[in-house]
Amino acid sequence: MTAPRPRLGYAMVIIAALLFGLNGGISRVAMGAGLTPGEFTTVRITFAALVFVAYAACFRRSALRRPRGTAFLTVVALGLVGVAAMQLTYNVAITRLPLGIALLIEYLAPVFVVLWVRFVRKDPVHPRMWAAVALALGGLAVVSQVWNGLTFDGLGVLMALLAGISFAAYFLIGEHGLGFDDPLRVILWAFIVATVAMNLFQPIWETPTLPDSTSWLGRLDEYSVNPLVPIAMVVVLGTVMPFFLQLIALKHLPASIVVVVAMLEPVIANVLGWAWFAETLSPVQVLGATAVIAGIVLAQTSRTVEHAIPAP
Between 265 and 19, the higher pLDDT residue: 19
Residues in CB range of 217: below 8 A, 6 or more apart = 25, 28, 29, 32, 276, 277
Alpha carbon of residue 256 to chain centroid: 16
Residue 181 confidence (pLDDT): 64
Which domain covers residue 121, as residue numbers?
6-300
Would you say residue 309 lies in a domain? no
Would you say residue 310 lies in a domain? no
What CA–CA distances, in Å, run from 273 to 25, 50, 115, 289? 8, 30, 30, 14
Q: How far apart are the first and last CA of the chain?
A: 24
- Model confidence over 42-55: pLDDT tens digits? 999 999 999 999 99
- The closest alpha carbon to 105, from 148, 151, 150, 137, belongs to 137
Cα-Cα-Cα-Cα dihedral of 50, 229, 242, 100, to 10°? -130
3-state DSSP call for residue 84?
A: helix
Distance CA 272, CA 97 (A): 13
Rounded to 5 degrees, φ, ψ at 303 are -80, 140
Cα-Cα-Cα-Cα dihedral of 25, 255, 160, 33, to 10°? 30
Instruction: Provide the pLDDT confidence category of residue 159 given band limits of 50, 70 and 90.
Output: very high
Residue 174 confidence (pLDDT): 65
- Model confidence over 177-212: pLDDT tens digits? 555 567 788 889 999 999 999 999 999 999 999 999
Asked whether residue 221 carries a pLDDT value surpassing 60, the answer given is yes
Q: How many domains does the chain have?
A: 1
Question: Average pLDDT for residues 88-116, to the nearest whole number?
Answer: 87
Asked whether residue 308 carries a pLDDT value surpassing 50, the answer given is no
Would you say residue 308 lies in a domain? no
Would you say residue 305 lies in a domain? no
Would you say residue 175 lies in a domain? yes
Would you say residue 312 lies in a domain? no
Would you say residue 106 lies in a domain? yes
Residues making up the chain, counted from first to last: 312
Lowest mean pLDDT among 74-78, 95-99, 106-110: 106-110
- The closest alpha carbon to 166, from 269, 312, 46, belongs to 312
